[in-house]
Chains A and B, each alone.
Chain A
Amino acid sequence: MAGLFRSRLTLLERARASLAIQTGRALTFTLRRLGRGATALPGKAALKVDPQLLKRLTAGRTVYLVTGTNGKTTTVRILCSILESLGTPVITNPSGANLDSGLTTTLLDHLPLLRQKTAGENDLAIVFEIDEAFFAKLAASLGPSVCVVTNFFRDQLDRYGELAHTRDLIAKGLSDSSAKVVLCADDSLCASLARGREDQCVYFGLDEAAMQVGPSGTVTESAYCTFCGTRYQYQAHAYGHLGRFSCPSCGFSRPEPDLSFAPATPASRELQASAGDKGESQALRFQYHGETILAELAIPGLHNGYNASAALLAAIAGGQAFAPAAEALGQARAAFGRMERFQVGEREVCLILVKNPVGMDRALDHVGHASDFGAAMLLLNANDPDGRDVSWIWDVDFETHLLPGPLGVSGIRAADMALRLFYAGKPASELQIDSDALTLFDHQLALCPPGTCLYVLPNYTAMLDLRASLAKRYHLREFWRKGG
Chain B
Amino acid sequence: MELRICHLYPDLLNLYGDRGNLITLKQRCLWRGIACIITPISLGDSFAASDYDLVFMGGGQDYEQNLLYEDLIEQKGDAIRAAVEDGLVFLCICGGYQLMGRYYEEQDGHRIEGLGAIDIKTIGRPDRLIGNTIHEAAWLSELGHDPVLVGFENHSGRTYLGPGVRPLAKVRKGGGNNGDDQTEGAIYKNTYCTYSHGSFLPKNPDMADHLIETALKRRYPELKDLPPLDNQLSENARKYLVNCNC
Contacts and interface: CB of A to CB of B under 8 A. Distances in A.
A270 interface: no
A394 B19 contact: yes
B154 A158 contact: yes
A418 B236 contact: yes
Which range holds the interface residue count of chain B? 35 or more
B237 A415 contact: yes
B67 A224 contact: yes
Interface string A380-402: 00100000111111110001000
B130 A224 contact: no
A278 interface: no
Contact of B23 (A390, A394, A418): A394
B154 A423 contact: no
Contacts, number: 97
B12 A224 contact: yes
Contacts of B239: 415
B197 A423 contact: no
B143 interface: no
A229 B71 CA distance: 13
Contacts of B66: 229
Interface string B63-101: 110110000000000000000000000000000000000
A428 B240 contact: no
Given A223-B11, A388-B131, A395-B17, A423 B23 contact: yes
Contacts of A420: 20, 202
Which range holds the interface residue count of chain A? 20 to 34
A219 B14 CA distance: 12
B32 to A, nearest CB: 14
Nearest to A425: B27
B10 interface: yes
A162 B62 contact: yes
Contacts of A394: 17-20, 23, 199, 202
Given A415-B240, A416-B237, A158 B232 contact: no
A392 B198 CA distance: 8
Interface in B1-56: 10-12, 14-20, 23-24, 27, 43
Given A389-B152, A394-B19, A224 B236 contact: no
B67 A229 contact: yes
B246 A382 contact: yes
B233 A428 contact: yes
A419 B197 contact: no
A158 B19 CA distance: 17
B233 A224 contact: no
Contact of A415 (B12, B43, B154, B233): B233
Interface of A: 157-158, 162-164, 219-221, 223-224, 229, 231, 382, 388-395, 399, 413, 415-416, 418-420, 422-424, 428, 431, 433
Interface of B: 10-12, 14-20, 23-24, 27, 43, 61-64, 66-67, 130-132, 152, 154, 197-199, 202-203, 230, 232-234, 236-237, 239-240, 246
